[in-house]
Amino acid sequence: MTRVQLFVTCLVDGFAPEVGTAATEVLERAGCTVEFPDAQTCCGQPAYNAGLVADAEAMAAYNVEVLDATDGPIVVPSGSCTDMLVHHVPALAEGTGWEQAARRVAARTREFTQFLVDDLEISDLGVLREGCRVVYHSSCHGMRNLGLGPHARALIDSVTGVERVEPAQPDQCCGFGGLFAVEMPEVSAAIMDAKLDDLEATGADLVVGGDVSCLLHLDGGLRRRNSPLRVCHIAELLATEP
């Protein structure tokens, strides 16, 4: 069996622990032994995006020390945090004593769907769902910096009972953008409203994505609209129980 380290992310830990449970279930069904490094903490992305580079570097150095002491792929149910660990943490580590450790950790880090499709070469987990229409939301960091999107779509298409539909603008941002939604709420809300119009126009029952941050943002907007459309992380869709 493949031993993997689950890097759960702050938002999963604090707001959507069910996503971590679902990811663990799916990985175990795929033949993995899932371990959870208890000492893990924030990847440092919020501080990094806010320009607090010293704080981000301190968090990154700590996490690298924790993760470098483990074995196997590091699987992350978030394209955003994966991008931070793969690209930005090694950049923060340049010229430091933990640079090589950061590069080792980056080389082992995989986003959840990326790991299932590219590393484990899984095309069908044998999941059955009661008939529903699903629209996939491509989160910006995962799509643009990691090439994600085809992975999740292929996994969704393998679920019996699910019809996947495409929005008119599949690459459109949801408007969250981390601190952007706090610093520029009016712009963030306008971007979100355009995205929600596009998603609702598909006639889907469920929005599936790979980042809890985007899903929380979209879910809030949908609830304020009293929309029947709901959100779901890809790991929850692929789990044996909804």
Residue-level pLDDT at 68: 98
Percent of the chain's residues with pLDDT above 90 = 93
Q: pLDDT per residue over 181-202, tens digit each? A: 888 999 999 999 999 999 999 9
What is the rounded distance in angstroms from the CA atom of residue 10 to the CA atom of residue 182? 18
What is the chain's mean pLDDT, rounded?
Answer: 95
Domain ranges in the chain are 2-119, 128-238
The third-level CATH classification (topology) of the domain covering 128-238 is Rossmann fold (3.40.50)
Mean pLDDT for 141-156 is: 96
Residue-level pLDDT at 241: 52
**pLDDT band, residue 242 (cuts 50/70/90):** very low
Q: pLDDT per residue over 124-138, tens digit each? A: 999 988 899 999 999
**pLDDT band, residue 240 (cuts 50/70/90):** low
